[in-house]
Each structure stands twice: as structure tokens, then as C-alpha cells.
Homo-oligomer: A and B are copies of this chain.
Amino acid sequence: MFEHRLRVRFQHTDPAGIVFFANILVYCHEAYEEFLRDGGIPLEEFLGKRKQTLPLGHAEATFKRPFRAGQLVTVRVSVGRIGERSFRLEFDLFGESMEHLATAATVHVSVDPATGRSTAIAPELRSLLEKHAPPA
């Protein structure tokens, strides 16, 4: 489990005064970037050095309560299934009183950009994921 906090920005909200849904998935990706950085594998370095990309194969989110401008949000990241060539992350987003705002999940596929094909997850990424995976 890993947690990242962020603040909802004015420009993330729409005329109805609440965060536009796609921005909530951006918050999840921001937490994923911090999860990797905290684990010693910053995404930008990983992509540069490893010559692998990690495009999303799937994303989903369920929104329970509105996110409002100025609000502090805690994003909790958990590792779901770890496959040979892909992995699933799960996200829970909470407000300031730890009220549950949303859940989300993303599936990331390890891809060799030279061929465009899926490839085995790099060992250092696999070991970071396993450290955070739920006990079998």
C-alpha cells in the first residue's frame, strides 16, 4: 500500500463546480508515478533506460462523491494481479475526513516500443510490485 496526497485545482473543476471525471484518472496516474518514484524507479528514467513503455490496457473508475476545488485528496495505491507481461493497480481516493470519494483500477502492459509488442515486466519493476502485492 502506498499513499499520495494532492490538492484539487481550480482548473480541474467544471462549470458544475466538480472535478471533470477524466481528471480523477489523472490523479490516479500521478499517484502511480509517485509510487514508482518512491520505489526507486521513476517512470521517466525507467522509460529512458529500460527501453520499455507501460501503456494502459484498461482503466476503470467508480465515482461515489463529488471532488471539489481546493479539496485535499488522498490516493491509496494497491497492487492487484501481477502477470507475466502486465499488472493491475487499484486505487481508493479519500477526502479530508477520509470519506471514500472514488475507486479506480488501471492495467499496465509492458511493451517493447521497438516492436510494439508486449514483453516481460522488467525485474526491478516486478520486485517493486511484489513488495506491495497482497499475500497470496
Instruction: Give residues in A with beta carbon < 8 Å to B.
Output: 9-11, 13-18, 20-23, 25-26, 29-30, 33, 37, 42-45, 47, 53, 55-63, 66, 68-70, 106, 113, 116
Among B15, B55, B106, point to the contact of A69 (Cβ < 8 A): B15
Question: Does the CB pair A70–B44 fall under 8 Å?
Answer: yes
Known A16-B53, A113-B16; judge A29-B11 contact (CB<8 A).
yes
Residue numbers in B under 8 Å from A69 (CB-CB): 15, 43-44
Question: Does the CB pair A56–B45 fall under 8 Å?
Answer: no
Please give me the 10 A-B residue pairs with the lowest Cβ-Cβ distance, nearest first. Answer: A60-B60, A44-B69, A44-B70, A21-B56, A11-B20, A16-B53, A22-B25, A22-B22, A15-B17, A58-B62
